[in-house]
């Protein structure tokens, strides 16, 4: 797969040249973590009322790994795919007989590379500066990040396939990003949200990613139901994107 | 000379709309073959079916004898393509684009050589969005050629270019042919067709109404040649009508107008010289390809 390798490398470079994507995936999560650390520190709530008894930064660090993943899936990938469609890049690829597998491989490779980079950045900052605890279960965290990245890649592909233009994708993507950040564990602790907001959070994919990474991190074990929900969203979005992007003969 | 492209009985509908119907033509190896016609006449659909980018409802396509819909792998090496309204990511560089498309080819040309050949060496690290219209077209043609294709499709490649850039594009197309490739050119510009195409197919409402050389089209459909001369008093206009190739002779206010084929001009000149009118001045005008094209389109639309 020489093509897939070449395309992956070029796609990664293209993504890093896209300022909005870089800000939302690599800069904002780190910045938010920094701000929250200044506000809350990492001392658990003495009454155990918030964060399920965990230290705020132990809670937010894995949550923001989810935010990195969401940034790619809600902003980076949809804008990229919508602009490819809008500009006829996909048609050019089709005319050059670019294998569809190479295009998908390249998008996934890029998503994983950036997720890993963003996560390492977050974890290093949190660990070195605020003494965040290491995950209780590394394999569980890796599984959560892996499933989350796959799922949000499918979400991003779907959004990019159905939104009419790159501008629309960017607007809607940023809106979804803020919405999900606030109600899916990246904002106030879930215990502080009203029932309605929590229900909205449960209906959106990010909360499942956050919990799937958080639970093994905080020693609550691998959350299999959440991983299954992610697989379900993945299958649904992948099928819908395939339908929307099938070549029109 | 083998046949580079053979299209037979091509038919393609989009829903209830018939885009092309019973389209057939063949392109000889080494030829530059034009597809012209009004907007929506089926040029792009025809070109896309020929490249197996669309599946026709019926009909036969062969690219150097290969069925492009069945043998996708084999045909990938044969075809290079410049698509209408299809660009590249803004932030990809010239070098990256060439490298990407070269990685698709089993036996790609030398990348720095190709970039230099198309005058883009200085722009190798430049983003696509920073290129001028002419530079973009050169890059697109270079990308279409990176796999050493034997048949190249160029769809409206000069639309939107300024006159200087268009002429430059023409020289590039001639160079591609000189290097041995066969070219199918989809265009709206009659000057482009006249300058480049060996033969041209005229499509109207999804059907081919004429396939001929540009000169042949002008000859038959462009109103032919019109010769005007000031009539010497003793001239026998009846004799003019009998000349080979002459279609019509009119005379008013002492000016004779002779309409006919290109060879009627030769016959007329000879006839005048033999009769001692050798010093008569002739004003010859020729119908243009645009005249021929417009009359063809009008006639075809009247029929349907």
- Dihedral Cα A60, A62, A63, A69, nearest 10 deg: 140
- A32-91 pLDDT, tens digit per residue, is 888 888 888 888 877 777 787 788 888 899 999 999 999 999 999 999 999 999 999 998
**ipTM of predicted assembly, 2 dp:** 0.87
Contacts of A94 in chain B (CB under 8 A): 53
Return residues 98-117 of B near A (CB < 8 Å).
Answer: 99-101, 103-104
Identify the domain containing residue A173 by its residue range: 2-245
Of the residues A10, A95, A170, the best mutation for testing chain B's interface (the one with the most B CB atoms within 10 Å of its CB) is: A95
Contacts of A14 in chain B (CB under 8 A): 89, 91-92
Report whether A154 contacts A180 (CB < 8 A). Answer: no
Number of domains observed in the structure of chain A: 1
Q: Which of B113, B94, B111 is nearest to B103 (CA)?
A: B111
Please give the pLDDT value at position A103: 93
Out of A9-13, A49-53, A228-232, B65-69, which region has the weakest mean confidence (pLDDT)?
Answer: A49-53
Compare B178 and B159 and report the one with higher pLDDT. Answer: B178
Q: Taking 90 as the threshold, does the pLDDT of residue B264 lie above it?
A: no
Note the CATH number of domain B224-286.
Answer: 3.30.70
Please give the pLDDT value at position A67: 94
Q: Convert B88-157 into a string of H (helix), E (strand) and C (coil).
A: CCCCCEHHHHHHHHHCCCCCCCCHHHHHHHCCCHHHCCCEHHHCCHHHHHHHHHHHHHCCCCCEEEEECC
CATH topology of domain B3-78+149-218: Rossmann fold (3.40.50)
Of the residues B86, B91, B126, B137, the best mutation for testing chain A's interface (the one with the most A CB atoms within 10 Å of its CB) is: B86
Q: What is the band of B278 on the pLDDT scale with cuts at 50, 70, 90?
A: confident
- Nearest beta carbon to residue B87 from set A17, A88, A97: A88
Å between B303 CA and nearest CA of chain A: 30
**Share above pLDDT 70 across residues of chain A, in percent, rounded to a whole number:** 98
Compare B150 and B281 and report the one with higher pLDDT. Answer: B150
Of the residues A22, A97, A101, the best mutation for testing chain B's interface (the one with the most B CB atoms within 10 Å of its CB) is: A97
How many angstroms separate the CA atoms of B142 and A38, rounded?
A: 55
Global pTM value: 0.84
- A166-220 pLDDT, tens digit per residue, is 999 999 999 999 999 989 888 888 777 878 888 888 889 999 999 999 999 998 9
Q: Which of B60, B50, B74 is nearest to B183 (CA)?
A: B50
Report angle CA B299, B300, B302 to the nearest 5 degrees: 65
Q: What is the band of A139 on the pLDDT scale with cuts at 50, 70, 90?
A: very high
Report whether B56 contacts B223 (CB < 8 A). Answer: no
Q: Taking 70 as the threshold, does the pLDDT of residue A21 lie above it?
A: yes
- Nearest beta carbon to residue B81 from set A7, A17, A95: A95
User: A174 and chain B: CB distance < 8 Å anywhere?
Assistant: no
Average pLDDT over residues B56-85: 89
CA atoms within 13 A on the CB side of A139: 3
Q: Taking 90 as the threshold, does the pLDDT of residue B181 lie above it?
A: yes
Contacts of A7 in chain B (CB under 8 A): 100, 103
Please give the pLDDT value at position A248: 66
Contacts of A91 in chain B (CB under 8 A): 53, 83, 86
User: A91 and chain B: CB distance < 8 Å anywhere?
Assistant: yes
Q: Count CB-CB contacts under 10 A for residue B59.
A: 19
Please give the pLDDT value at position A15: 93
Pairwise CB contact (< 8 Å): A10 & B86: no
Provide the number of CB pairs (under 8 Å) joining chain A to chain B. 58
Contacts of B101 in chain A (CB under 8 A): 96
Please give the pLDDT value at position A154: 95
**Domain ranges for chain B:** 3-78+149-218, 224-286
Q: Which of B185, B173, B272 is nearest to B232 (CA)?
A: B272
In total, chain A counts a number of residues equal to: 249
Å between B124 CA and nearest CA of chain A: 15
How many angstroms separate the CA atoms of B35 and B155, rounded?
A: 9
User: A31 and chain B: CB distance < 8 Å anywhere?
Assistant: no
């Amino acid at each position: 797969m020489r093509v897939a390798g070449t395309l992956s490398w070029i796609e990664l470079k293209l993504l890093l040249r896209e300022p909005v994507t870089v800000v939302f995936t690599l800069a904002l999560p780190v910045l938010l973590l920094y701000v929250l650390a200044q506000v809350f520190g990492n001392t658990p709530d003495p009454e155990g009322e918030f964060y399920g008894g965990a230290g705020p930064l132990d809670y937010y660090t894995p949550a923001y790994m989810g935010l990195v993943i969401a940034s790619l899936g809600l902003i980076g990938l949809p804008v990229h795919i919508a602009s490819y469609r809008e500009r006829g890049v996909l048609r050019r690829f089709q005319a050059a007989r670019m294998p569809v597998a190479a295009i998908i491989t390249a998008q996934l490779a890029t998503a994983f590379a950036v997720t890993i980079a963003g996560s390492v950045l977050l974890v290093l900052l949190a660990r070195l500066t605020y003494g965040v605890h290491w995950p209780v279960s590394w394999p569980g965290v890796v599984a959560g990040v892996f499933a989350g990245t796959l799922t949000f890649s499918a979400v991003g592909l779907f959004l990019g396939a159905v939104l009419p233009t790159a501008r629309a994708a960017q607007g809607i993507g940023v809106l979804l990003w803020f919405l999900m950040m606030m109600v899916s564990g990246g904002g106030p602790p879930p215990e502080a949200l009203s029932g309605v907001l929590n229900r909205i959070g449960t209906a959106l994919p990010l909360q499942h990613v956050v919990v799937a990474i958080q639970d093994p991190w905080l020693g609550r074990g691998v959350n299999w139901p959440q991983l299954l929900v992610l697989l379900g969203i993945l299958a649904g979005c992948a099928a819908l994107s395939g339908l929307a992007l099938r070549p029109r003969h | 000379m083998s046949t580079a492209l053979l299209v037979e009985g091509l038919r393609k509908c989009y829903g209830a709309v018939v885009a092309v119907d019973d389209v057939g033509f063949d392109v000889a190896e080494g030829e530059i073959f034009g597809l012209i016609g009004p907007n929506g006449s089926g040029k792009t659909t025809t070109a896309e079916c020929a490249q197996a980018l669309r599946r026709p409802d019926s009909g036969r396509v062969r690219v150097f004898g290969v069925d492009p819909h069945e043998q996708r792998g084999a045909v990938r090496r044969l075809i290079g393509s410049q698509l209408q309204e299809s660009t590249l990511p803004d932030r990809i560089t010239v070098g990256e684009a060439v490298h990407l498309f070269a990685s698709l080819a089993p036996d790609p040309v030398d990348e720095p050589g190709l970039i230099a050949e198309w005058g883009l060496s200085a722009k190798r690290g430049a983003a696509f969005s920073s290129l001028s219209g002419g530079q973009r077209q050169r890059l697109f043609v270079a990308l279409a050629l990176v796999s050493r294709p034997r048949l190249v499709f160029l769809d409206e490649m000069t639309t939107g270019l300024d006159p200087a850039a268009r002429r430059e594009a023409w020289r590039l197309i001639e160079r591609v042919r000189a290097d041995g490739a066969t070219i199918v050119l989809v265009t709206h510009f009659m000057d482009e067709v006249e300058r480049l195409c060996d033969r041209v197919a005229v499509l109207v409402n999804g059907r081919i109404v004429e396939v001929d050389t540009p000169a042949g089209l002008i000859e038959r459909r462009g109103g032919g040649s019109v010769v005007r001369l000031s009539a010497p008093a003793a001239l026998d206009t009846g004799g003019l009508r009998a000349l080979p190739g002459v279609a019509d002779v009119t005379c008013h206010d002492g000016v004779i107008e002779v309409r006919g084929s290109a060879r009627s001009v030769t016959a007329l000149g000879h006839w005048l010289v033999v009769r001692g009118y050798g010093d008569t001045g002739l004003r010859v005008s020729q119908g243009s390809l645009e005249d021929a094209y417009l009359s063809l389109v009008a006639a075809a639309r009247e029929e349907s």
